[in-house]
């Protein structure tokens, strides 16, 4: 397989002792910068995406007489092939440079190439989604994204979880049908393509004989797999058609969901912390230059925030205690957030206040059943065994979790109370009819975890091709 600039660099570091700089190498990459320092010398940085800093190429008249040709033809964005020999670099920040003996341009660019030498803003780059991975910042983000995905897989496999992805196309609207996408095999663009009978679409003329949706969560299906296979997880995509264009919402996101069997509520919190710390360790080990790059240019203090999380004690506080604490602090004029009654949901001002005050990740546990989903395990006092994990530094909610109600009667009652249509839920009820068992799990927006690890503020900048409200361009 052809070698990358990263391979070469690692190789050169290893052979350093033997000082074999005689070999002629053929290296390819995209030109990131090019400048001539004098009539007899030019510099060019090329990168193939395998590493942050790419490779410094030195063009000297002594080795390549027609330096003028190089200066006139090689532009930022070209895909270029260089023949040259390595030598130790006298410049700071790089161990080696490539002395050019010959070159050829494989892929040229014209004047319309949108990227120049100068650093562009993230929201400007969002206009060039298909090209932005050619910049240093997106190189870093996407290398970290790939590594973070691998960290998650390694973590759960080491723990003995099975990776199983349920269906994305589903008839199950999970929590009531708001904010879901519907699917059809027809092209509804043209009037009359779909046929109505007594005002209802005849779904039997469509692909599945009934209305299919894109999943908003794989949890219910994952529970079915867990209640047979034991601990499982998925990294399916999930979909929400919410009309929101915030920096934290997209219509399609990567959804890490786990489901544990025969576990305790505390174990669910413990494994959340362990996973977060494992992921950051993994990123430090595999993407250190990229984290430094983002710390330097995008998110000052990123590195030290991540170190703090690794060493953090996470706290567990009951919802009711959170309410009391906030209200008492308001009374004592310690904070200016709006007052809360028992049963109110927390706003982001409250979340921020709590994590800032406590100074660490906070599990807010035992929420009132009225605020939470039907499937959560009910306690005797009207709360449920659920938690939201809130993270400091403005990150906010990262994980939502609960033990699941395994008692058939309690589940049926709450479904009635909450007007959950049980027609398509027989499979879910079967799990309680037949050999029911204690289990619980959580959902985590993988893209939000990546935002935390990269310090990127807009979710659209951590996803290769983000799809969001009023915006699907690829």
Nearer to its own copies, 194 or 371 (CB): 194
CA atoms of 337 and 334, how far apart (whole Å): 10
Torsion angle of the four alpha carbons 411, 416, 418, 420, in this order, in degrees rounded to the nearest 10: 90
CA atoms of 355 and 362, how far apart (whole Å): 6
Nearest distance in Å: CB 107, its own copies: 4
The residues that bridge with 80 in the sheet, in sequence order, are 29, 105
Segment 52 to 71, residues that bind its own copies, using CB under 8 A: none
- Our finding on whether 82 is near its own copies (CB under 8 A) is no
Q: Which helix (H) or strand (E) holds 197?
A: strand 196-197
Contact residue for its own copies among 54, 58, 70, 132 (CB under 8 A): 132
Nearer to its own copies, 17 or 470 (CB): 470
Contact 52, 67 (CB under 8 A): no
Q: Which of 399, 402, 393, 394 is nearest to 449 (CA)?
A: 399
Contact residue for its own copies among 11, 297, 342, 427 (CB under 8 A): 427
Contact 462, 141 (CB under 8 A): yes
Contact 135, 94 (CB under 8 A): no
- Our finding on whether 14 is near its own copies (CB under 8 A) is no
- Our finding on whether 171 is near its own copies (CB under 8 A) is yes
Binding mask 300-329 for its own copies (x = CB under 8 A): ------------------------------
Strands, E assignment, 374-459:
386-391, 396-403, 439-445
Nearer to its own copies, 287 or 389 (CB): 287
Nearer to its own copies, 47 or 373 (CB): 47
CA atoms of 78 and 106, how far apart (whole Å): 8
Segment 356 to 385, residues that bind its own copies, using CB under 8 A: none
- Our finding on whether 258 is near its own copies (CB under 8 A) is no
Nearer to its own copies, 64 or 156 (CB): 156
Return the structure tokens found at 277: 């710390």
- Our finding on whether 190 is near its own copies (CB under 8 A) is yes
Contact 184, 169 (CB under 8 A): no
Nearest distance in Å: CB 434, its own copies: 5
Return the structure tokens found at 345: 């949901």
Return the structure tokens found at 152: 């998650």
Segment 228 to 257, residues that bind its own copies, using CB under 8 A: 228-231, 236-237, 239, 241, 251-252, 254
Nearest distance in Å: CB 105, its own copies: 9
- DSSP secondary structure letters along 316-368: EEEHHHHHHHHHHHHHTTS--SPP--TTPPP-HHHHHHHHHHHTS-EEEE--B
Nearest distance in Å: CB 71, its own copies: 18
Nearest distance in Å: CB 348, its own copies: 25
Nearest distance in Å: CB 342, its own copies: 33
- Our finding on whether 44 is near its own copies (CB under 8 A) is no
Q: For residue 426, what are the contacts with CB-CB under 8 A and spacing of at least 6?
A: none
Contact 374, 382 (CB under 8 A): no
Contact residue for its own copies among 86, 103, 138, 319 (CB under 8 A): 138
Nearest distance in Å: CB 131, its own copies: 7
- Our finding on whether 188 is near its own copies (CB under 8 A) is yes
Nearest distance in Å: CB 304, its own copies: 27
Contact residue for its own copies among 84, 166, 368, 445 (CB under 8 A): 166
- Our finding on whether 184 is near its own copies (CB under 8 A) is yes
- Our finding on whether 413 is near its own copies (CB under 8 A) is no
Contact 367, 383 (CB under 8 A): yes
- Our finding on whether 25 is near its own copies (CB under 8 A) is no
Nearest distance in Å: CB 259, its own copies: 12
- Our finding on whether 406 is near its own copies (CB under 8 A) is yes
Segment 93 to 122, residues that bind its own copies, using CB under 8 A: 106-110, 112-113
SS3 88: strand
SS3 82: strand
Nearest distance in Å: CB 228, its own copies: 3
Contact 166, 215 (CB under 8 A): yes
Nearest distance in Å: CB 227, its own copies: 8
CA atoms of 73 and 145, how far apart (whole Å): 35
- Our finding on whether 192 is near its own copies (CB under 8 A) is yes
- Our finding on whether 159 is near its own copies (CB under 8 A) is yes
Contact 230, 263 (CB under 8 A): no
Q: Residues in the chain, how many?
A: 474
């Amino acid at each position: 397989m052809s070698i990358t600039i990263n391979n070469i660099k690692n190789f050169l570091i290893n052979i350093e002792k033997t000082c074999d700089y005689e070999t002629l190498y053929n290296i390819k990459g995209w030109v990131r910068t090019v400048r001539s320092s004098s009539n007899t010398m030019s510099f060019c940085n090329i990168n193939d995406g395998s590493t942050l800093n790419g490779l410094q190429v030195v063009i000297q008249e002594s080795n390549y007489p027609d330096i003028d040709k190089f200066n006139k033809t090689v532009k930022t964005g070209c895909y270029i092939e260089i023949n040259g020999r390595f030598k130790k670099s006298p410049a700071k920040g790089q161990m080696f440079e490539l002395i050019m003996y010959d070159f050829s341009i494989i892929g040229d660019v014209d004047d319309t190439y949108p990227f120049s030498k100068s650093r562009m803003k993230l929201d400007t780059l969002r206009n060039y989604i298909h090209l932005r991975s050619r910049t240093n910042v997106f190189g870093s983000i996407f290398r970290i994204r790939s590594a973070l995905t691998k960290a998650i897989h390694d973590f759960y496999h080491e723990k003995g979880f099975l990776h199983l992805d349920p269906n994305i196309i589903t008839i199950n609207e999970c929590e009531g049908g708001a904010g879901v996408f519907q699917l059809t095999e027809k092209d509804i663009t043209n009037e009359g393509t779909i046929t109505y009978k007594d005002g209802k679409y005849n779904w039997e003329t469509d692909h599945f004989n009934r209305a299919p949706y894109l999943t908003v969560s794989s949890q219910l299906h994952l529970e079915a797999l867990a209640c047979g296979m034991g601990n499982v997880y998925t990294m399916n995509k999930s979909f929400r058609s919410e009309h929101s264009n915030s920096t934290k919402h997209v219509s399609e996101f990567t959804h890490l969901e786990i489901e544990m069997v025969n576990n305790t509520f505390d174990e669910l919190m413990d494994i959340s912390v362990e996973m977060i710390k494992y992921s950051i360790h993994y990123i430090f080990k595999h993407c250190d230059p990229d984290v430094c790059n983002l710390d330097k240019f995008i998110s000052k203090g990123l590195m030290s925030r991540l170190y703090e999380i690794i060493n953090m004690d996470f706290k567990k506080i009951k919802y009711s205690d959170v309410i009391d604490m906030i209200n008492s602090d308001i009374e004592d004029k310690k904070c200016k957030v709006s007052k809360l009654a028992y049963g109110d949901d927390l706003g982001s001002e409250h979340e921020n206040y709590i994590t800032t005050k406590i100074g660490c990740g906070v599990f807010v546990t035992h929420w009132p059943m009225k605020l939470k989903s039907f499937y959560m395990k009910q306690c005797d006092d009207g709360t449920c065994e659920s938690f939201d994990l809130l993270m400091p530094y403005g990150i906010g909610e990262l994980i939502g979790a609960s033990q699941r109600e395994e008692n058939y009667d309690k589940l049926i009652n709450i479904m009635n109370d909450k007007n959950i249509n049980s027609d398509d839920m027989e499979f879910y009820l079967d799990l309680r009819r037949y050999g029911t068992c204690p289990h619980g799990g959580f959902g985590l927006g993988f893209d939000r975890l990546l935002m935390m690890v990269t310090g990127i503020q807009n979710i659209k900048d951590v996803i290769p091709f983000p799809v969001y409200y009023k915006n699907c361009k690829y």
